[in-house]
Amino acid sequence: MSKRKTLISRLGFRTSGLAKTLGMTLVSLGKNSVKGRMPWTKRASQWNGLIHGGALAALADTTAGVGTIHVIGPGWRILTAEMKINFFGNIPNGSVDADGKLLHRGSRSMVWEVRLTPTGKKKLLAISIITYIILDPKHRE
């Protein structure tokens, strides 16, 4: 099994929860970057046929979360501490790419910027800044 498939399986990126429900996939994963994708579906749309802002926010958070877990390694857990998103556009079909870049890596926090665009286009649909708290593997709530 390739390192990429092992990581995707370990993170559960497409195997469970909201990521699976919305059809999210991992496109690429680097040292300080991550790219995810989500198709337009009726399930992820508003009443008027445009993709829902909440679905876009979920894609941004999931993509950056995968990047965070990749950077910190196995055993650690994370929590989304803060997320800000600005919307600029929308789509009635196709798919959305989430391009995440690591902005800050601290010992107990990580900050990512995620740009959301229609797949294959440069039009900016939204931009999000997300802060994660890194929990010690021994920490249990």
Range of the domain at 63: 3-135
Phi, psi of 108 (to 5 degrees): -130, 5
Is 99 contained in some domain?
A: yes
Q: Say if CB 72 and CB 137 are below 8 A apart.
A: no
Tell me how far apart the alpha carbons of residues 120 and 112 are, in angstroms, rounded to a whole number: 22
The CATH number linked to 49 is: 3.10.129.10
The predicted structure's pLDDT at residue 40: 95
Instruction: List average pLDDT for each run of 10 residues in the chain, which is 141 residues long.
Output: 50 69 91 95 92 96 94 87 97 97 96 98 97 83 61
Is 141 contained in some domain?
A: no
Tell me how far apart the alpha carbons of residues 134 and 17 are, in angstroms, rounded to a whole number: 21
Is 140 contained in some domain?
A: no
The predicted structure's pLDDT at residue 16: 65
Is 71 contained in some domain?
A: yes
The predicted structure's pLDDT at residue 82: 98
Q: Would you tell me how many other CB atoms lie within 10 Å of the CB of residue 43?
A: 11
The three-state secondary structure class of 44 is helix
Enter the pTM of the model.
0.88
The predicted structure's pLDDT at residue 112: 98
Buried b (16+ CB within 10 A) or exposed e, 3-25: eeeebbeebebbeeeebeebbbe
